[in-house]
Structure 1
Amino acid sequence: MAAHRKTKQRPHTGTAARTAATLALAGAATAAALPGPAHADPAPTAAQVKARVDRLYREAEAATEQYNGAKEKAAATARSVDALRDEAARRTERLNTARQALGAYAAAQYRSSGIDPALQLALSSDPDQYLRRAAYVERAGERRATELRTVRRQVADVAQVRAEAAGQLRELAARRAALKEHKDTVRAKLAEARRLLARLTPAERAAFDASEGGRGDVHAGRGAPRGLTAAPGSRAAQAVAFAYTALGKPYVWGATGPSSFDCSGLTQAAWRAAGVSLPRTTYTQINAGRRVSRSELAPGDLVFFYSGISHVGLYIGNGRMIHAPRPGAPVRIAPIDQMPFAGATRVA
């Protein structure tokens, strides 16, 4: 039998060589892309979770103060729109009354103007009486001309008020859009904080609640206990007394009492109980009185924290304050060195 000869393999050249190279590279890339043993991202430590949650709470509080400011401005703009609408309605009513009076006069003039005045004088049986009536009509005409100018001015005034109301409505829409944006930001930050906290074990969560964000006395009372540093005035004392009655009440962002508070809502409510009206937000409250240094602090002073003036508490003496810390941490007493000190204001 004849021996079978093995077919000789020819090297790839030209297009065939390029195709083979492409297939080889693709195979190598596919092999490199094949997953090896799965490596899950390491779970964050309790300390890392705390750091992230603290940052989210600070950012949420800053957004809360922006929300509070936007809400206050939106409410003021809404009141302005209502006032302008009422003013436009009143001016329109006066305008319509003036128009009706002019219309009645014009109709009377039309009915009596069919005969030429010279002919009326010639046909009159009492020329003197006619001339007296003519003089009266002339004076009445002058009054009507004045009334006509008044009507024209009223038309312009109504148009101006309506234009101003339209502008205020556009501003109100913009403020409400900003309000929604701040609200969405707060909710997103708090939701992310809750998600991170849910990853902690019960023991880790208890340690977090006992840490910087959760430390402090939360026992509610009827007023400031005896033996504390005296407030500089009766109003400051009243504000401090109110803050003590709020101990233990929950933090709710955007709340001003009486059952829950955010940080600036608490200080506003405390001083309102003392008969003093404070602005709504931290960044406006800091300008609501006389600035004082940390060494000058007295009970009733407002103490502010962080570079963005995003948190406020009510100083009660001995280096402590009453404040509404964050969601999940009710109104409590805490040291003022718990957070970066940014300034203080004495209201009264």
Structure 2
Amino acid sequence: MRALPPSLAGIGAAVLLTATLLTAPASAQPTTVAGLLAHYYDLSAEAELVNEELLVVQEELAAHRQASATAVEAADEAKAAADALRDKVTVAQDLDRVADVLSSRRDLDGLTALATSTSPDDLVGKLEAATLAAHLTGGPRKGDAALEAAEAAEEKAIAAESQAQALESKVAGTAAEVRQRRSALDAQIAEVRTALDNLTPEQRSLLDGIEDYGSDVVIPGGNAGEVLRFALSQMGKPYLWGAVGPSSYDCSGLVQTAYRTIGITMPRVSRQQALVGKQVARPDVRPGDLIFYGKPVHHVAIAVDSVRAVHAPSFGENVKIGGIDNIGSITVIRRVVG
């Protein structure tokens, strides 16, 4: 959860706690600038957590949809194979019956055919019948075992198809529930953001000046410098949940895209990114290191130096530089390059 910047917390009560009472929104939001901003940060942190949960569920849903499609294709192929064998076995069974009829005739062996034929044509016909009977009766119902195997494969494929579709449906339901939660948070955050945007110019300028970390950034060489250079070049672009650029970002989307510029593929969400690289102690932070916040992790920033970090903060805000220790409660710091 992102902490309220100390500079805001320390501003005089006459300015923030008594002189800036607002008209409370319909949902009974806090009535001071300090309380309203703290509430905004709380909602934003919760929203980030829900958004990352949704991204994870969406990845899982995509995998289940692919598995389901593959299972459907396999089931269709198994059904077609079983149907083809069933057709062949039906033909074989019909031929078996013909063979039974032919073999029951006594004049089908060669000697009998010769002795009983009334003409050369009659003899040829009887010899052909004898040959056919011998061929057909040599191995009746040879396809039964193959058919049983095909039908067993068909049943297994149909069961796998059903299971895959059930899992897809379950995960789709979970995704829908998370989307509803995110939508509800969207509405609450928009309401608080509207209240913040309706502050007087004096109040607005006070808030805008709270996190002034300057622009005296020194970008190092190497891959860490390239990551930092890209992230800083995105400053001013709006935060958007689920965005990975180029016009907007969420916190982990900015990290993923920045590291992609140096050929490193990072996981999509911050809780997964927090497992990449090696852990670094707070006093050892260097430019390009990743600072992760919250338990469970739900926010990430890229270190500019030992004091500042660039990040995509939250709904209604733009990519900017903030104080590493003011962004929130640090969970872990990871070094991926350098």
Q: C-alpha root-mean-square deviation of aligned residues, in Å?
A: 3.1
Matches within 5 A, 1:65-84: 65-84=52-71
Alpha-carbon spacing, 1:186–1:89, altered in 2? closer, same or farther (3 Å)? farther
Q: Is the 8 A contact 2:95 2:136 kept in 1?
A: no
Shift in Å at residue 192 of structure 1?
3.0
Q: Choose from 88, 98, 103 the match for 1:101.
A: 88
Write the distance in 1 (CA, Å) between the matches of 2:181 and 2:60.
13
Write the distance in 1 (CA, Å) between the matches of 2:48 and 2:214.
21
Number of the residue aligned with 1:320: 308
Number of the residue aligned with 2:286: 298
Identity %: 26
Number of the residue aligned with 2:332: 343
Q: Is the 8 A contact 1:229 1:317 kept in 2?
A: no
Q: SS of 2:140's equivalent?
A: helix
Shift in Å at residue 144 of structure 1?
0.9
Q: Is the 8 A contact 1:243 1:322 kept in 2?
A: yes
Write the distance in 1 (CA, Å) between the matches of 2:225 and 2:321.
16
AA partner of residue 185 (structure 1)? A
AA partner of residue 177 (structure 1)? A
Write the distance in 2 (CA, Å) between the matches of 1:90 and 1:217.
64
Q: Choose from 93, 101, 120 the match for 1:115.
A: 101
Q: Within the alignment, does 1:64 sit opposite 2:63 as a pair? A: no
Write the distance in 2 (CA, Å) between the matches of 1:328 and 1:217.
21
Q: Is the 8 A contact 1:301 1:345 kept in 2?
A: yes
AA partner of residue 250 (structure 1)? P
Task: State the TM-score, normalizing by the size of structure 2.
Answer: 0.75
Query: Which segments of 5 or more consecutive residues in structure 1 lack a partner in the other structure?
Result: 1-39, 220-224
Matches within 5 A, 1:82-161: 82-110=69-97, 112-113=98-99, 115=101, 117=103, 119-120=104-105, 122-126=106-110, 136-137=135-136, 140-141=139-140, 143-161=142-160
Write the distance in 2 (CA, Å) between the matches of 1:290 and 1:308.
19
Which string of whole-angstrom CA distances, capped at 9 and with x for unpartnered residues, describes residues 216-263 of structure 1? 5689xxxxx7x53445xx3x4443333233222111112111211010
Shift in Å at residue 304 of structure 1?
0.7
Q: Is the 8 A contact 2:292 2:333 kept in 1?
A: yes
Alpha-carbon spacing, 1:316–1:153, altered in 2? closer, same or farther (3 Å)? same
Q: SS of 2:304's equivalent?
A: strand
Task: State the TM-score, normalizing by the size of structure 1.
Answer: 0.73
AA partner of residue 311 (structure 2)? H
Write the distance in 2 (CA, Å) between the matches of 1:345 and 1:156.
49
Which string of whole-angstrom CA distances, capped at 9 and with x for unpartnered residues, describes residues 22-54 of structure 1? xxxxxxxxxxxxxxxxxx989823222222222
Q: Within the alignment, does 1:228 sit opposite 2:219 as a pair? A: yes
Write the distance in 2 (CA, Å) between the matches of 1:62 and 1:157.
40
User: Number of residue pairs matched?
Assistant: 295
Write the distance in 2 (CA, Å) between the matches of 1:145 and 1:57.
65
Q: SS of 1:313's equivalent?
A: strand
Shift in Å at residue 135 of structure 1?
6.4
Shift in Å at residue 142 of structure 1?
5.6
Q: Is the 8 A contact 1:239 1:300 kept in 2?
A: yes
Query: Which segments of 5 or more consecutive residues in structure 2 lack a partner in the other structure?
Result: 1-22, 112-126
Shift in Å at residue 336 of structure 1?
1.0
Q: SS of 1:115's equivalent?
A: helix
AA partner of residue 228 (structure 1)? I
Number of the residue aligned with 2:13: none
Which string of whole-angstrom CA distances, capped at 9 and with x for unpartnered residues, describes residues 287-323 of structure 1? 1332222233333322112333221012233432221
Shift in Å at residue 167 of structure 1?
1.9
Write the distance in 2 (CA, Å) between the matches of 1:274 and 1:99.
58
